[in-house]
Structure 1
């Protein structure tokens, strides 16, 4: 796996996600997740584990969706766990992620509740 920039602050993950998604780098997106991360997608279901998340993003990114950077809501931090979120475009609810500090000081997603992911075809 290539050496990717690490998220040294919880808020960095969203920026790195947008950068990697917009160049179609599913492995780079998956590298933002812990090995046993859980993503609340597809709707009503879950995708569990970094490898399954990579496979999901490969399908999604094949459609070349464009992600725009968003201003994050304030991050809540308790020790090595943080809650990050961004407001959705329509103003209802929010996308939220639980991230965990790694031994090297970087952060990875543990739980991901996306607002919307373009359908995989």
Structure 2
């Protein structure tokens, strides 16, 4: 699968994440991140860069999760950086930092998908 959509707003990334995860689209999930992004998932495990993030999401989608959108909080934007956060239906909170790219789109740089439960 390919990621034809680009995030024109920081919170688009969260919406696209749900779509790609539910479709089992590892390429689409990895495409939401900058090449040297950092992801802490599962909790306590840090993956850096597309290759490591891909391995995490290959295992994640192999479990065939069905994700439901939670409550996405308004993005806090300062120049080319944005803090995004969602409260999942499980009560867990995700927090990410996105950066505006040269073409105006947004990609995650740092992703902490399980902060508080």
The question of a shared fold, defined as TM-score above 0.5 by the shorter chain, is answered with yes
Preserved contact between residue 88 and residue 115 of structure 1 (Cα < 8 Å): no
TM-superposed deviation, 1:52: 1.1
TM-score, normalised to structure 2, is 0.90
TM-score, normalised to structure 1, is 0.87
Structure 2: gaps of 5 or more residues = none
- After superposition, the CA RMSD in angstroms is 1.8
Give runs of ≥4 in structure 1 deviating > 6 Å. Answer: none
**Matches of 1:2 and 1:89, distance apart in 2:** 27
Report SS of the residue matched to 1:17. Answer: helix
Structure 1: gaps of 5 or more residues = 117-121
Aligned partner of 1:16 in structure 2 is 16
Higher relative strand content: 2
Q: Which is further off, 34-43 or 9-18?
A: 34-43
Preserved contact between residue 22 and residue 65 of structure 1 (Cα < 8 Å): yes
Aligned partner of 1:75 in structure 2 is 75
TM-superposed deviation, 1:47: 0.6
TM-superposed deviation, 1:90: 4.8
Report SS of the residue matched to 1:29. Answer: helix
**Matches of 1:16 and 1:91, distance apart in 2:** 20
Written as runs of structure 1 = structure 2, the 5 A alignment for 1:1-121 is 2-91=2-91, 94-115=93-114
**Matches of 2:26 and 2:105, distance apart in 1:** 20
